[in-house]
Structure 1
Amino acid sequence: MIPREVLQKIRRIQIRTSHLADNLLAGQYHSAFKGRGVEFEEVRPYRIGDDVRAIDWNVTARSGEPFVKLFREERQLTVTLLVDLSASQGLGTHWQTKRELIAELGATIAYSAMKNNDKIALTLFTDGIEKAIPPRSGSRHVLRVIRELLYCQPMGHGTDITTALEHLNRTAKRRSVAFLVSDFQDRGYEKALKVARRKHDVIPIVVTDQREFELPDVGLLELVDSETGEIAMIDTSSNRQRRLYAERAREIATTRDQLFKRLRMDPIYVSTGDDFVDPLRKFFHQRECRR
Structure 2
Amino acid sequence: MGSLVTRVRTTMALFAHRRARTMLDGQYGSAFRGRSLDFDDLRAYIPGDDVRDIDWKATARVGAPLVTRYEALRRQNVLLVADTGRNMSALARGGGPKKEIALLALGVIGWLAQRHGDRVALVAGDAASSQSVAPRSGEAHLERLLRAFDGAAGPGSGPSDLTAQLDHAVRTVRARGLMFVVADEAAFDERDAALVRRLAVQHEILWLTVRDAELAGAGAPGRARDVADGGLLLSLLARAPEVEEDYRRLMAERTAARAGALRRLGIAEVHADTPEDVIPALFRLLERHRRAR
Q: Give the Cα separation in 2 of the matches to 1:74 and 1:10.
A: 25
Q: Give the Cα separation in 2 of the matches to 1:217 and 1:229.
A: 14
Aligned match of 2:160? 159
2:110 is the counterpart of 1:110: yes
Q: Give the Cα separation in 1 of the matches to 2:241 and 2:218.
A: 9
* Equivalent pair of 2:114/2:120 in contact (CA under 8 Å): yes
Q: Give the Cα separation in 1 of the matches to 2:268 and 2:24.
A: 18
Q: Give the Cα separation in 2 of the matches to 1:286 and 1:124.
A: 25
2:101 is the counterpart of 1:101: yes
Q: What is the identity, as a one-letter code, of the residue corresponding to 2:27?
A: Q
Q: What is the identity, as a one-letter code, of the residue corresponding to 2:120?
A: I
Aligned match of 2:288? 286
Deviations 1:183-212 (A, max 9, x none): 14144322212211212222222111332x
Query: Taking structure 1 as reference, are residues 171 and 218 closer, same or farther at Cα in structure 2, changes over 3 Å only?
Result: closer
What SS class does the counterpart of residue 108 from structure 1 fall into?
helix
Query: Taking structure 1 as reference, are residues 40 and 218 closer, same or farther at Cα in structure 2, changes over 3 Å only?
Result: closer
* Equivalent pair of 2:88/2:153 in contact (CA under 8 Å): no
What SS class does the counterpart of residue 268 from structure 1 fall into?
strand
Aligned match of 1:193? 196
Deviations 1:6-56 (A, max 9, x none): 4366643343348869545121100122466322679xxxxxx87xxxxxx
Q: Give the Cα separation in 2 of the matches to 1:18 and 1:117.
A: 21
Q: Which moved more, 1:126-135 or 1:116-125?
A: 126-135
* Equivalent pair of 2:86/2:153 in contact (CA under 8 Å): no
**Once the 2 structures are TM-superposed, how far is the Cα of residue 162 of structure 1 from its aligned partner?**
2.9
Rg (Cα) greater in structure:
1
Aligned match of 2:247? 245
TM-score by length of 2: 0.75
Q: Give the Cα separation in 2 of the matches to 1:9 and 1:112.
A: 14
Q: Give the Cα separation in 2 of the matches to 1:71 and 1:115.
A: 14
Structure 2 portions without partners, runs of 5+ = 42-55, 58-67
Q: What is the identity, as a one-letter code, of the residue corresponding to 2:36?
A: G
What SS class does the counterpart of residue 234 from structure 1 fall into?
helix
Q: Which moved more, 1:192-201 or 1:266-275?
A: 266-275
Paired residues in the alignment total 259
Aligned match of 2:11? 16
**Once the 2 structures are TM-superposed, how far is the Cα of residue 169 of structure 1 from its aligned partner?**
2.3
Q: What is the identity, as a one-letter code, of the residue corresponding to 1:136?
A: R
Query: Taking structure 1 as reference, are residues 242 and 134 closer, same or farther at Cα in structure 2, changes over 3 Å only?
Result: same
Aligned match of 1:181? 182
Identity of aligned residues (%): 21
Aligned match of 2:172? 171
Aligned match of 1:226? 227
Aligned match of 1:61? none
Residue 74 of structure 1: which of 55, 72, 90 is its match? 72
Aligned match of 2:87? 88
Q: Identify, as 1 or 2, the structure richer in strand.
A: 1
Aligned match of 2:265? 263
**Once the 2 structures are TM-superposed, how far is the Cα of residue 85 of structure 1 from its aligned partner?**
0.9
Q: Give the Cα separation in 1 of the matches to 2:231 and 2:170.
A: 33
Q: Give the Cα separation in 1 of the matches to 2:218 and 2:212.
A: 17
Q: What is the identity, as a one-letter code, of the residue corresponding to 2:147?
A: R
Deviations 1:149-170 (A, max 9, x none): 2223577522333321222122
Q: Give the Cα separation in 2 of the matches to 1:23 and 1:71.
A: 16
Structure 1 portions without partners, runs of 5+ = 1-5, 43-48, 51-69
Q: What is the identity, as a one-letter code, of the residue corresponding to 2:139?
A: S
Q: Identify, as 1 or 2, the structure richer in helix.
A: 2
What SS class does the counterpart of residue 180 from structure 1 fall into?
strand
Query: Taking structure 1 as reference, are residues 280 and 24 closer, same or farther at Cα in structure 2, changes over 3 Å only?
Result: same
CA RMSD of aligned residues (A): 3.1
TM-score by length of 1: 0.76
Query: Taking structure 1 as reference, are residues 95 and 9 closer, same or farther at Cα in structure 2, changes over 3 Å only?
Result: farther
Aligned match of 2:62? none
Q: Give the Cα separation in 2 of the matches to 1:217 and 1:141.
A: 36
